[in-house]
Chains A and B, each alone.
Chain A
């Protein structure tokens, strides 16, 4: 049972476009929702994260929109650049104890063309 569903699987946009990646979760106990960016040959790196007490968070060109009632969240990349070409993973966790298990989506491969 996949607890975090991510779409689309791949995305091609032109430079300056606004790619949007969507995720839906099932477990209402989740209370932390990060996005990770992965370049070829590297491990994923934290990009931006949100908690369910806010509906939007913006960091530079990256924005997370969060809809608690729909159990959905999305990543928007403003003014996308070729350097943003990477695989993006959404994730979710329940923040308890001394460590937490991040449950990841299947990833979206983004290509930004000139």
Chain B
């Protein structure tokens, strides 16, 4: 394990459901990120939290709602998703900027929207 834990590992949800993805790190990092990974596309940055404040929202649809209650936990709340939202959602953390020690990624949540 990398020290960044994501749950659940797999999630199948209907377009009208509401679900949440959870990310937890106990590495002492102070920045956390959500990325979306789709086949043959670059990892897409969705949200950045630094010191528990959202510092980046990369034009993500409002059906994705992040929450960072403390420096160790990050959530991604999902509602009324579309089939094109099916992807691997990766959480990452860092100690300050990526150039310090890099990002530490979790193993991701494989989301399927039916």
Contacts and interface: CB of A to CB of B under 8 A. Distances in A.
Interface string A40-83: 01111110010100000000000000000000000000000000
Interface string A83-114: 00000010101011111111111110000000
Instruction: Classify chain A: how many residues form its interface, as a range.
Output: 20 to 34
Contacts of B96: 98-99
Contacts of A100: 94, 97-99
Interface string B80-105: 00000000001010101111011111
A104 B97 contact: no
Interface string B35-56: 0000011110100111100011
Contacts, number: 85
A99 B48 contact: yes
A43 B92 CA distance: 9
